Amino acid sequence: DQQVKQNSPSLSVQEGRISILNCDYTNSMFDYFLWYKKYPAEGPTFLISISSIKDKNEDGRFTVFLNKSAKHLSLHIVPSQPGDSAVYFCAANRHNQGGKLIFGQGTELSVKP
């Protein structure tokens, strides 16, 4: 049962343009949603999160939008830079589940100069 899904395995964007990564979930009990970024041969690093009581959270070039009715969230990167090229994982968590994150399959973003 895939509770968190990232349906696009890859995305290619031109430098300076917007990158939009999407994520769908099925469990309405999730309290937090997070995005992690992973470079090859490194562990994932936390990027940005959003609580289920909000619909938007912004941090610099990164904005996460949450649509609870559609059980959908997206990560916007504006402007995209070549250093953003990595695999992006969407994850979800319940507040009483601590370090138990449910991850999507990941989307590999390639930002071309």
Partner 1 sequence: KAGVTQTPRYLIKTRGQQVTLSCSPISGHRSVSWYQQTPGQGLQFLFEYFSETQRNKGNFPGRFSGRQFSNSRSEMNVSTLELGDSALYLCASSWVAGENTGELFFGEGSRLTVL
- Residue numbers at the binding site for partner 1 (CB under 8 A): 31-32, 34, 36, 41-46, 49, 51, 89, 91-93, 95-106
Q: For partner 1, give the closer residue by CB, 43 or 113.
A: 43
Backbone phi and psi for residue 8, each to the nearest 5 degrees, phi listed first: -105, 110
DSSP 101: P
Least separation, in Å, of the C-beta of 46 and partner 1?
5
Least separation, in Å, of the C-beta of 57 and partner 1?
12
Tokens of residue 1, six digits = 């049962």
Beta bridge partners of 10: 108
